[in-house]
Amino acid sequence: MGRGLFCAPLLLLVACGSDETGDTGQLRHGADGGDRSPAPGEEDTGQDQDGVDGGLEVSRPIAELEPGEPLSGGETTNTLLLGANAFTRPAANLDAESERSFFTGNSFFNQSWVEAPSSTEARDGLGPTFNARSCSGCHFKDGRGQPFDSQGNGLGLLIRLSVPGQGAHGGPLADERYGGQLQDRAITGVTPEGAVHIEYAELPGSYDDGEPYSLRQPTYRIEAPAFGALPDDLRMSPRVAPAVIGMGLLEAIEDSRLAELADPDDADRDGISGRLNRVWDVQLEAMAVGRFGWKAEQPTVLQQSAGAFLGDMGITSRLFPSNNCPAPQLDCASAPSAGEPEIEDDTLDKVGLYTATLAVPVRRDSDDPAVLRGKLLFGETGCVDCHTPSHTTGESSIEALSGQLIWPYTDLLLHDMGEALSDGRPSFDAEGAEWRTPPLWGIGLIEDVNDHLFLLHDGRARGFAEAILWHGGEGEASAEAFRALDAEDRAALIRFLESL
C-alpha cells in the first residue's frame, strides 16, 4: 500500500527568523495560542511562544510546500479565528441558510440537557443513565476530551463494553447487565452503573542517540459495579472524545477513494494493510463503509451524532429510539421519558449539520523551513503510508463541502497497531488491535483549545513523541525510524505536527 513520498526535497541553508533571511512573513504563536507578527516596538527574538526556536538553522533537505496545503479544509478552512476558539467556526463558504442552522445546532451541542419532565421541553430527556450532560461536556470547544486523573477527575473518556460473540449485524455483543457502554452518572432515583479507575505504569526507554523517554501504560478497572459482578470475559475499550472538526469533509470522501487506498492482504508487501470497516447504516438498513469513531464504527456524521446522544447522554432519536436500560436496571426502565423520540428530528438534523460543517483551522508556519524539514521526515519515516495527506471530496448534500481539496492526513482505514494498543474488543470487521487512522488536521491546536495534549485513543500519550513511540504492528517501522532520528530531526518532525 506504499504511496511514496508526498514531497520533493530541496537543499537549503536557512536561518529561520534571522536578519539574513529578511522579513519572511512568518506568523508566530501569540500568548492566546493564535498567530501573530511582532507588535510595533516589540523585539522579534526568533523564539516562538511554544518553545520552538525560530532561529534554528536548517541545513538539511526540506520538502516543498504544495499548492493549497495551508488551507487544510480547502475553501471551508477557518482563516479568521485561532487560539482557544480555533475549532468553533462554521465552514467559511457555508451559505446563509445553512449558517443559521449551524448556529442552532451549536446551541443544542453546547447547552446542557436536563431530566424529564421539564419546562425546557426542547432539551429534556437526559438519561436515565449517562456520561455527560451535553455534547460539549466531552468535546469542549469542539475539541478533544481527556482521560481521568488518579482521582477520577476529567470528562471526555468513556468505556465501551462487550462480551465474546457478535451482536446485530456483526457489531459488538453488549453485556446483559451493563450494556455496551459503562454509564457512570444517572438522573435522580436511578443508580449509575459503576465508576472507572485508571492506574498508570511508567515504561522507560531511550532513543538511539541515548536520550531517555518514558511511556505511560494505563490499566482500567470498573469499581462498585451496581448490578452484579462483572463477567470474567468482559471486554473494555477506553475511548477519549476526539475533536469534531472537518467531519462532513471526511464523509464526502468517496468510498472508491478509500477502497483504492486499502490493501487488506498487503499485496505490495510493504507491511501496511489498511482495511475498510463495514458497519450497519441504520438509515439505509444496509452495510456501509465506516468512517467515524476510533474503530470506524459509524458510517455518517448523523449516525455518529445520534449514537452519541444515546450512548453518552441517554437521549433517544429517530435513529436510536430505545433507551439503554439492560434488564436488571429496573429503575432505569421505569424512569420518565421526554417523548418518543426525545430529540426532535429537526434538532438532530441541525446538530448533524453543525458537526458536519465545523471548519478546520488554517495551518500555521507551513512554509517555515523547520516545518518543511519535518514534513519530509514524516514521509521518509513512513507516516504517510497510513496518514494519507490529501484527498478531493466528492459530492455532498452540503454544497460547501463538495469538490474540496483537503489535507486531513488520514486514510480512514483500519490498521493493526500492535498488542500494546489493543483493546481486545472487536467491532464489526475491526479486530482488537486495529484502529482507524485518526485525522491529524488541527492537532497542533489541541493544547490551545483544550489545555492538554493527551493523544491516542485513550489519551495515554503525553504529547506527539509518546504517541509516535506507542505505534506497533503496521506502525512499528515508523516508530523505530522516529526513534533512530537525531534530536534535531525529531524536533523538526514534531514541529511539522504542531503546524497542522
Q: What pTM does this model have?
A: 0.89
Distance between CA atoms of 108 and 101, rounded to whole angstroms?
Answer: 11
**Which residue, 162, 183, 178, is CA-closest to 236?**
162
Q: What is the three-state SS of 51-63?
A: CCECCCEECCEEC
pLDDT of residue 33: 34
- The total of other beta-carbon atoms located within 10 Å of residue 10's CB is 12
pLDDT of residue 151: 64
Q: b/e per residue, 237-254, with b = 16+ CB within 10 A?
A: bbbbbbbbbbbbbbbbbe
Task: Please identify which residue in the block is written with the cell numbers 526535497.
Answer: 9
pLDDT of residue 155: 77
Extract the C-alpha cell encoding 184: 457512570
Q: Which residues make beta-bridge pairs with 427?
A: 430
pLDDT per residue as tens digits for the range 231-266: 999 999 999 999 999 999 999 999 999 999 999 999
Return the axis-axis angle of helices 369-380 and 487-499, rounded to nearest 10°: 100
Asked if residues 49 and 40 have their Cβ atoms less than 8 Å apart, the reply is no
Distance between CA atoms of 102 and 401, rounded to whole angstroms?
Answer: 14
Helix (H, G, I), strand (E, B) or coil at 125: coil
Query: Where does 345-461 have alpha helices with state H?
Result: 345-357, 369-380, 446-450
pLDDT of residue 84: 98
pLDDT of residue 153: 66
Q: Which residues contact 232 (CB under 8 A, 6 or more apart)?
A: none
Q: Which residues make beta-bridge pairs with 280?
A: 287
Amino acid at 238: P
pLDDT of residue 150: 58
- The total of other beta-carbon atoms located within 10 Å of residue 373's CB is 27
Distance between CA atoms of 235 and 55, rounded to whole angstroms?
Answer: 50
Return the axis-axis angle of helices 301-313 and 345-357, rounded to nearest 10°: 110
Report strand pairing: 405-406 vs 391-392: antiparallel
Extract the C-alpha cell encoding 499: 503546524
pLDDT in tens, the chain (500 residues): 444 444 444 433 333 333 333 333 333 333 333 333 333 333 333 333 333 344 456 789 999 999 999 999 999 999 999 999 999 999 999 999 999 999 999 999 999 999 999 988 899 999 999 999 999 999 999 999 999 765 666 679 999 999 999 998 999 999 999 999 999 999 999 999 999 999 999 999 999 999 999 999 999 999 999 999 999 999 999 999 999 999 999 999 999 999 999 999 999 999 999 999 999 999 999 999 999 999 999 999 999 999 999 999 999 999 999 999 999 999 999 999 999 999 999 999 999 999 999 999 999 999 999 999 999 999 999 999 999 999 999 999 999 999 999 999 999 999 999 999 999 999 999 999 999 999 999 999 999 999 999 999 999 999 999 999 999 999 999 999 999 999 999 999 999 999 99
Asked if residues 495 and 371 have their Cβ atoms less than 8 Å apart, the reply is yes
